[in-house]
Chain A
Amino acid sequence: MTAEITPIKTAAEIGLAEEFMELRGRLADGTVAARREAAFRRFEAQGLPHRRVEEWKYTDLRALMQDAKPLAAPPDAAARARAKSAGGMFATVGARRIVFVDGAFEPELSDLAALEPGLKISSLADALSRGLPDVAARLGAAGPAEGDVAYSLNTAFMSDGAVVEVGAGAQITRPLHLVFVYGSEHAAAVFSRSLIVMEKGAGLTLIESHEGPDGVDYQVNTVLDLMVGAHARFSRVKANAEGSAALHLATLNATIGANADVADFALLTGGRVVRNQLFVQCAGAGTALNLGGASLLKGRQHGDTALLVDHAAGGCRGRELFKSVLDGASRGVFQGKIIVRPGAQKTDARMMTRALLLSEAAEADNKPELEIFADDVQCGHGATSGALDDNLKFYLMARGIPERDAETLLIQSFVGEAIETVAHEGVRDALTAATLRWLAGRG
């Protein structure tokens, strides 16, 4: 006799199914529609992940996501007005701003004037409505995030985002800033999807910022599909300053060619429940990969960084350094997995995660994993968590530095080690300034 197991659907799962039915009714048939359908079926088969799903062990989305919000409506004038000052933490960088309000591209708030030669920027909604075949093909190209539940949901519901192409050899020196603002005062769900293609030898620094009002329990699911060609250089800095009640799921789905130079850094200060997923595949040999992040959490914030680096080709150098500063009853999660495929010889991969606990109630969960199938590699990982060193604090205080300032200096130096890995000086300064603001607001 076999027991028939019928999983009970949660309110969120039922809500997502209803939203999808409605969305499907509104969209035309075609390649992308079929892809949405397949992605939603994948999600339905799995349901929302819970703590018995290993990859989501510390972020029980089934419990944390209590309902599905309606898909965001086009922003009104008030929401647009709020977006004008968005992304201000990078104001001194002088980046080209491309603005999205409640998930929708806002040409009037964006700077598309005098694009550098080799740089093409358009909106995903535009590409989808025009049925551009190459965009559709790239959205469907298998990447390392394929099969992930947040990624599947994004594919099913994706509405708008940036489509950026940097042509062969084009070095774009002015950073590009994708500004994502949640402007509505009512809770809704935003599914933004961006696509960046770096052709051979191209170079770009990307800033991505996310923000919204405190106290509104809106939901953001954002994806960046990234294709980096041989000898290209790509660097992204993401600042997550979502509102205090927001749910934010983010996925980087990156495939990297040979001899490229790719860096990604995330500063997390906002949101109630945040999961930042990085799926990176080194598909060509000789690439340098630098992944890092700093999570500064307080109150009841939950911040999860989930990393998967897949060394499919040999001779790549990977450096991963993630730090979290946890105050109040916050929880910082880091799960990092490095895979070295058979034949990916001379891989040099190092992963380090450190958590600084500022209160008794804070919690850090660190889970590094290595799966190595090649025999001539150097791989290492480390994980630490602990409180501020009382002896160091005493040393500073014995020199006349008051206790709070001594703590600030030590926390700043802790976070600073991760921020120092960011190459762009102006962006680095903006991250340091944001860290100091967070420290000043510790209260």
Chain B
Amino acid sequence: MALLEIKNLSVKVEDRDILKGLDLVVNSGEVHAIMGPNGSGKSTLAHVLSGKPGYEVTGGEVMYQDADLLELGPDERAARGIFLAFQYPLEIPGVATMTFLRTALNAQRKTRGEPELSTPEFMRRVREQAARLSIDLDLLKRPVNVGFSGGEKKRNEILQMALLEPKLAVLDETDSGLDIDALKVVADGVNRLRSPGRGMIVITHYQRLLNHIVPDVVHVLSKGRIMRTGGRELALELEAKGYAPYQDEAA
């Protein structure tokens, strides 16, 4: 059975149709790239999958493992293994990053009926993952993302992903705002998390991220629909020819 199966999904935001019959199947172990021009519905797809309020599903369905995903709240989706790496990670003044990580991890475990992690075990995991992402532990004592650089915010997202060990990770324009060195660190972090038990959807406007996170499948999203699906070479073709042909086709 597929990890995620989206059938004919239509979504409205403030009376505008954004997704117009989108189909997508992601299996465990696969990395899917979704590429598309601005306004094609990429971020809408990421937000709908993670349960952000303000999106009205007007048609279609989303099955995740054996559940109707759209029936679940964002917190329940997270506990069942869905993770969204935010394009713009938010700053939460007054909440230490370490407290945030621990609260999130234990909340998910509680929802799943698992015992809370002991402090030493939690710290061991944080130290291990932070070291891999070159994140200074002092940074984690500071409030979530407050005063973090763009690269630190994105690395913090990947750290959360590594600790929460999702089954389906959705990366929303994780490359935006990163220079090439930061991009490599983040991409390496993502690549380490590729596994047969985990599916990923990598949303990006540019092909350059896909040089570092090499996808199994590439989709072109335009005007709210998947216009074309192919292998890695499709991304290179898009790089050469741009999105214009798909925008014309859809119009």
Contacts and interface: CB of A to CB of B under 8 A. Distances in A.
Nearest to A413: B94
Interface in B71-102: 73-75, 77-79, 83-84, 86, 89-90, 92-95, 100
Nearest to A409: B95
A417 B104 contact: no
A76 interface: no
B92 A401 contact: no
B108 interface: yes
Interface string A90-128: 000000000000000000000000000000000000000
Contacts of A398: 50-52, 74-75, 77-78, 83-84, 86
Interface in B93-120: 93-95, 100, 103-105, 107-108, 111
Nearest to B111: A400
B164 interface: yes
Nearest to B54: A390
B107 A402 contact: yes
Interface string B118-157: 0000000000000000000000000100000000000000
B53 interface: yes
A173 to B, nearest CB: 29
A422 to B, nearest CB: 15
Given A392-B90, A413-B95, A401 B75 contact: yes
A400 B164 contact: yes
Contact of A394 (B74, B103, B111): B74
B93 A397 contact: no
B204 interface: no
Interface in A350-405: 390-392, 394-403, 405
A399 B92 contact: no
Interface string A413-425: 1101100000000
A396 B160 CA distance: 12
Contacts of A401: 75, 103-104, 107
A375 to B, nearest CB: 34
Residue in A396, A405, A414 whose Cβ sees the most chain B Cβ within 10 Å: A396
B71 to A, nearest CB: 15
Residue in B79, B90, B143 whose Cβ sees the most chain A Cβ within 10 Å: B90
A400 B50 contact: no
Contacts of B105: 400
A303 to B, nearest CB: 21
A400 B104 contact: yes
A135 interface: no
A403 B73 CA distance: 9
Contacts of B79: 400
Contacts, number: 73
A402 B79 CA distance: 10
Contacts of B86: 395, 398
Contacts of B100: 396, 399, 409
A400 B78 contact: yes
A12 interface: no
B79 to A, nearest CB: 5
A397 B160 CA distance: 13
B107 A391 contact: no
A412 B95 CA distance: 9
A61 B105 CA distance: 50
B104 to A, nearest CB: 4
B73 to A, nearest CB: 7
Contacts of A395: 86, 89-90, 92
Contacts of A416: 94
B104 A394 contact: no
A436 interface: no
B75 A390 contact: no
A410 interface: yes
B75 A402 contact: yes
A416 B103 CA distance: 17
Given A405-B103, A405-B107, A413-B93, A399 B53 contact: no
Contacts of A391: 90
A397 B50 CA distance: 9
Contacts of A396: 92, 100, 104
B250 to A, nearest CB: 30
Contacts of A405: 103, 107
A400 B107 contact: yes
A391 B103 CA distance: 18
Contacts of B73: 397, 402-403
B75 A409 contact: no
A400 B101 CA distance: 10
A392 B105 CA distance: 17
Contacts of A400: 75, 78-79, 104-105, 107-108, 111, 164
Given A395-B90, A402-B107, A414-B94, A390 B53 contact: yes
A399 B52 CA distance: 12
B52 A394 contact: yes
Contact of B160 (A392, A399, A409): A399
Contact of B92 (A392, A402, A403): A392
Contacts of B84: 398
6 closest A-B pairs by beta carbon, nearest first, are A413-B94, A400-B78, A400-B108, A399-B104, A397-B74, A397-B75
Interface of A: 390-392, 394-403, 405-406, 409-410, 412-414, 416-417
Interface of B: 50-53, 73-75, 77-79, 83-84, 86, 89-90, 92-95, 100, 103-105, 107-108, 111, 143, 160, 164
6 contacts: A392-B92, A395-B86, A397-B74, A400-B108, A401-B107, A412-B94
Given A395-B92, A397-B51, A410-B92, 11 more contacts: A392-B92, A396-B104, A398-B51, A398-B74, A399-B107, A400-B78, A400-B104, A400-B164, A401-B103, A409-B95, A409-B103
